Amino acid sequence: MSQSLVPTLSPMALDMNPDWWKTAVVYQIYPRSFADANGDTIGDLAGLTSRVPYLAALGVDAVWLSPFYPSALADGGYDVDDYRDVDPKIGTLAEFDAMTAALHAAGIRLVVDIVPNHSSDRHPWFREALAAAPDSPARDRYIFRDGRGEHGELPPTDFRATFGGPAWTRVADGQWYFHLFAIEQPDFNWDNPEVRADFLTTLRFWADRGVDGFRVDVADGLFKRLPGPGSDYTGDPWTPRDELDRRLDEVYAGWRAVFDEYDPPRCAVGEVWAEPIERRLRFARPDNLGQAFNFDLLRANFRASEFRAIVNRNLVAAAAVGASQTWVLSNHDVVRHATRYGLPLTRPAAPNEFPPPTVVREVEWLKSGGVEPVEDVTLGLSRAKAATAFLLGLPGAAYLYQGEELGLREVADLDAADRQDPTFFRSDGDEIGRDGCRVPLPWTPEGPSFGFGPAGAHLPQPAWFAGYAASVEAADPGSALTLYRELMSRRKQLLTSADSGLTWLDAPDGVLGYARGGGWQVWTNFGDLPAPLPAGEILVATSPVDGTLPPATTVWLHA
């Protein structure tokens, strides 16, 4: 491709602080559901580029782009055919470069998803492995084993895949391969030097093109203990954890060395659902990936005691290893938070309880088609706005998911025939899955796909999306979009004089207040009754304030 299409960094627009990612607001884009430029019902890179002015007006510091690689979409693009190309269904490398240049020119950094645990079953290496003999070098890049039973007819272990069904699939010559996720996602063998080297090549490929950082999929899961040469172990693959984690440390030290070849160093954030918190933060150490998602708030109830305990726990644990904070309320894997907060509260989770009661409730609600229990839409939105404003005041980085700035709710009533998530298929419909938070965004109140593109949308949008259209909300001073814009622009100003930590303020039951230094205070009323309004100049309020701090409301004050 022509060199002129390779973006040049625009030093005027980009924040040159190498630590930008420690306090960034990062906006996640699920590219196939963001904006469709060519009318084939699938969002694409050209569509994304056309929306850069929207992102700039929103005020985000960075975009995290979910997988855009060639893929049969067995798992929404997390089944990658080629790590160093763009899916022709959504664009070209030249369009990727144009997108990067447009983002950078608008002062927005770009973080791309990298999927090291597994490729797709269409990846040339997996095809080569299938065509090769057992015990061949080609098979060693993945995890192939003989089965148990007289004729090898039983899988090597009883371990279950995350999306349901066995984690092993048998191939024509009788061997089995391991897949933590869908059948179409064979796991790499991270003890294989070619696999390790190839990922370093991939990291450099994108970093050379101007990518600023990486979101690492299943970051803590690359090594597992499985039966193999010299071992007939068939127990839990995640043990002994510490030994597996030490091997991961070594892999990520190699990645860190690559990141540090660049100026500014490339950043990384690990997707780590692991408990306990110390284990998650292992991957957030400065000599490791540097940052790991903290999903604690995403599983909590809208309850002051839960939020406060989570903030305390994370601030202390991160400081202990020199890691920066991250905060998340929504992403492409969970029920949107405007909906979660509209469902009845559950009891708080016990330490390390999995699945937590909030998630059990959401799974049940999805199964009922979104009717039981009844979603309180108004309360859900008020709480969602309040929780977001609480989160955007906290020290550290915040990750937002496309559509939450519109206050978008989960779409719970998609037809089975329209569903795409392998969770749904692999569980025979017992688990509804994640399609309801991946429905293409509404940009305008009319049009064949509410402005998503000139034609329809690859997942059907409900009629009520019209009321959440970006163009409608941009013109409404009371909308979620207007609030998000205000929060982001205030945050930029306030961060210049804020402390790196926070101080809790005395507050009545059900209310949390914290100070960030420079006079910045954040107050959230988690309760059902109005609370006294703290003194100070109100900078932002998530609902109209009338001399009290209303229920389900956050205010930012200058005290």
Minimum CB–partner distance for residue 421 and ligand NOJ (Å): 8
Which structure tokens are listed for 358?
């909030």
Beta strands in 82-241 (DSSP E): 109-114, 144-145, 168-170, 176-178, 213-216
Among the residue ranges 74-82, 142-150, 524-532, 543-551, the one whose residues contact ligand NOJ (CB under 6 A):
74-82
Q: Which of 173, 260, 261, 418 is catalytic?
A: 261
Q: Which of 44, 75, 187, 217 is catalytic?
A: 217
Among the residue ranges 75-83, 142-150, 258-266, 437-445, the one whose residues contact ligand NOJ (CB under 6 A):
75-83
Whole-Å CA distances, 435 to 95, 417, 449: 27, 12, 17
What value, to the nearest 5°, has the Cα angle with vertex 482 and ends 340 and 403?
40
Q: Pick one of Ca ion, ligand NOJ, none as the site partner of residue 42 (Cβ within 5 to 8 A by kind).
A: Ca ion
Minimum CB–partner distance for residue 114 and Ca ion (Å): 23
Among the residue ranges 72-80, 123-131, 236-244, 261-269, the one whose residues contact ligand NOJ (CB under 6 A):
72-80
Which structure tokens are listed for 324?
């920066």
- Percentages helix, strand, coil for the chain (3-state, rounded to 5) are 35, 15, 55
Q: CA 49, 53, 55, 61: dihedral to nearest 10 degrees? A: 100
**Strand arrangement, sheet containing 144-145:** 144-145, 176-178, 168-170
Site of interaction with Ca ion (CB under 5 A): 36, 38, 40, 42, 44
Q: Is 217 a catalytic residue?
A: yes
Residues 6+ apart with CB under 8 A from 527: 304, 509, 510, 511, 551
Q: Is 183 in the site for ligand NOJ (CB under 6 A)?
A: no
Residue of 15, 75, 95, 245 that binds ligand NOJ (CB under 6 A) = 75
Angle between helices 480-495 and 377-393 (to 10 degrees): 10
Q: Pick one of Ca ion, ligand NOJ, none as the site partner of residue 38 (Cβ within 5 to 8 A by kind).
A: Ca ion
Q: Is 187 in the site for ligand NOJ (CB under 6 A)?
A: no
Q: Is 69 in the site for ligand NOJ (CB under 6 A)?
A: no
Q: Is 362 a catalytic residue?
A: no
Among the residue ranges 54-62, 73-81, 140-148, 358-366, the one whose residues contact ligand NOJ (CB under 6 A):
73-81
DSSP result, 377-438: HHHHHHHHHHHHHHHHHSSSEEEEETTGGGTPPP-----GGG---HHHHHTTTSS--SGGG-
Residue of 27, 78, 199, 252 that binds ligand NOJ (CB under 6 A) = 78
Residue of 30, 181, 199, 520 that binds ligand NOJ (CB under 6 A) = 181
Q: Which lies closer to ligand NOJ via its Cβ, residue 251 or residue 272?
A: 272
Minimum CB–partner distance for residue 271 and ligand NOJ (Å): 6
Residue of 60, 86, 218, 480 that binds ligand NOJ (CB under 6 A) = 218
Q: Which lies closer to ligand NOJ via its Cβ, residue 118 or residue 491?
A: 118
Chain residue whose CB lies nearest ligand NOJ = 78
Kindly tell me the burial class for residue 421, based on how many C-beta atoms sit within 10 Å of its own C-beta (0-12, 13-18, 19 or more): buried
Q: Pick one of ligand NOJ, Ca ion, none as the site partner of residue 177 (Cβ within 5 to 8 A by kind).
A: none
Minimum CB–partner distance for residue 27 and ligand NOJ (Å): 16
Q: Is 212 in the site for ligand NOJ (CB under 6 A)?
A: no
- 3-class DSSP state of 172: coil
Which structure tokens are listed for 276?
């306990």
Q: Pick one of ligand NOJ, Ca ion, none as the site partner of residue 44 (Cβ within 5 to 8 A by kind).
A: Ca ion
Residue of 36, 44, 296, 333 that binds ligand NOJ (CB under 6 A) = 333
Q: CA 484, 487, 493, 494: dihedral to nearest 10 degrees? A: -150
Give residues 270-289 in contact with ligand NOJ (rule: CB under 6 A). Answer: 271
Q: Is 188 in the site for ligand NOJ (CB under 6 A)?
A: no
Q: Is 68 in the site for ligand NOJ (CB under 6 A)?
A: no
Closest C-alpha to 77, from 93, 59, 90: 90
Q: What is the DSSP letter of 357?
A: H
Closest C-alpha to 289, from 270, 315, 275, 314: 270
Residue whose token pair is 């392998």: 422
Give residues 420-449 in contact with ligand NOJ (rule: CB under 6 A). Answer: none
Q: Pick one of ligand NOJ, Ca ion, none as the site partner of residue 36 (Cβ within 5 to 8 A by kind).
A: Ca ion
- 3-class DSSP state of 160: strand
Residues binding ligand NOJ (CB under 6 A): 75-76, 78, 115, 181, 217-218, 271, 332-333
User: Catalytic residue positions?
Assistant: 217, 261
